[in-house]
Chains A and B, each alone.
Chain A
């Protein structure tokens, strides 16, 4: 028999989950990608096993993704066909990823899933955080370098014609072979079912490989996230690991934060958004590193460590994660307040000068 425990909730953990959801939402709304890279580790820090944190996070995300996709579809930013086709392949990735995760759970128990999720987080956040930081440096030195230009790879993908597999995607304004879409969709789903963040593959793939403009890629990703989230909740639900209480508490804070974060982006420069994203990613990455020795020790994959050492490392990890959350919230809220004050000042000057001109 297997025992995967849900977290016991008391007043402190409820308040913490709502606050974590709020910060996750703030960050998510501000940087325009899912905040799950903050939320999954935070849920694990509060004691949720990796598999429960991922499953519950996927459950909290998909209705939000649907609402976001519908909203952005009204602005003409969603390539529905691309979203649904990539979503279908992502669903296969989700199923395979869930199979991997439950395999690890069956063999190594809850701690095995903790190690698996943490290790993937460290690798993925190092890669993505590095790219985002590079983008920040580029944007700061050349503020208009983010204007949509097809990459060499995207031009090549558009030029390839494989009979019987070509589909026209309005977002890319080109015919693209399903043989390119399939692996990217699959990888997106695989990552989503491993750490509850699929957009780290889906969005860059759409921009750099399929030649979809960034704003359209992030909107289309919401369709994929919805399809993946719905399937992921069902697949993980059948394993009995979706904790609706966790999902709804995170959602409670997250929906307040996401709108505030999204408003915040309209008051700041793009490079500030990138810097925030990179700093939070790298801080979360470091927090996860401190938990890994403890998991390895519990699984007897390294020499057993003293309980006090594991506890100390966990405390450091908790502290670094708390720092990431505080840093994220402070950056977004400061940017929002400063930006609003500047905007108001500019508006007043404009109104005054219009008054003088009259």
Chain B
């Protein structure tokens, strides 16, 4: 029977199926971080069991770490305790930990691919919704709750109902100045923040194929923002090239064997999806969000929808959102002043993103009204940014690089956007208070963020390329 890419991977990992219930799905790689794991470790201990397959488990602190003075003990007592709890749990259960100051530490979804831990055909879970990022390699990767983290720690399996399948094709070629972030913000603006619920989404089409691995990760990362369980892209030469030579990637003959296997991960011609959507790359332009969910996005050159474009049922939520953002229906987006620029997160905190920002700001200066935080996704990204001279370019333009972590993406640490201030952010969520109580987030690409940093207001980057 013809199968989709998703089916091939999922079916190969089903240990058993409960009648009228979920599947018992075997997990190849379990990524763990400090915030969603302590209760799970406590849970298995209470049951008197140990981590079942510590060798398939990797941990790192990222959500709750400071981004300055990481060599010092963490000041915030609760954060310090949480990070130390992770260390203790990993020691006790023999789980590999890339702790603070370890050269491999970083945002869990940045380090997995970077270290070659993420490979095609795998099932990957983490107590974090953006686990979908790893789908860019042709893996079935999804976020789970802490009870499920406990399941995987205890048995390397998770009970999951099989999601429905959707394919989203982006056909044709992207226009100059249009990036992967614009592609996914565009898709979400069309599908809405809940349109993907219940589905696992395969992204396909020429425009997707033409993206780098970093770009593909950005797209899959945000598949959760349309409610999808996860996103994935069939692996190809771009994928194999990226994995080759990485720390934990198979080497030599083993790599060749692996590639042979990886090449079998694609959707068969005749396979059927529960839903299929088509978009034209030519319709996509640089995007920005104006509201309080990622589906509320528009072309930068467009206006916020007017009230009569919003259907009745959604009016209340829309008005609440406009009120929070300090915007009015029908406003033009371009030209609105901005206070903060945040470049970072598991969506756009990789080396390619920093390169893009550096290339844009080279020889320019940031606007006086802008506070810019550039936070590398991992220690390795930080190191590379130094080696490639990116840090120097950024510093000359008036930016400062902070140390790796989730930072202002969720503002668990001190990196909070003050109440009422506007932040153009390369992260993935513009929810109320996401970047700090009262913070107003506008999601955009690193290129747009760079252009905003230079001009001090919302601008289509193509106008100043």
Q: Is chain B a partner of chain A in the same complex?
A: no
> CB within 8 Å of B: which residues of A?
none
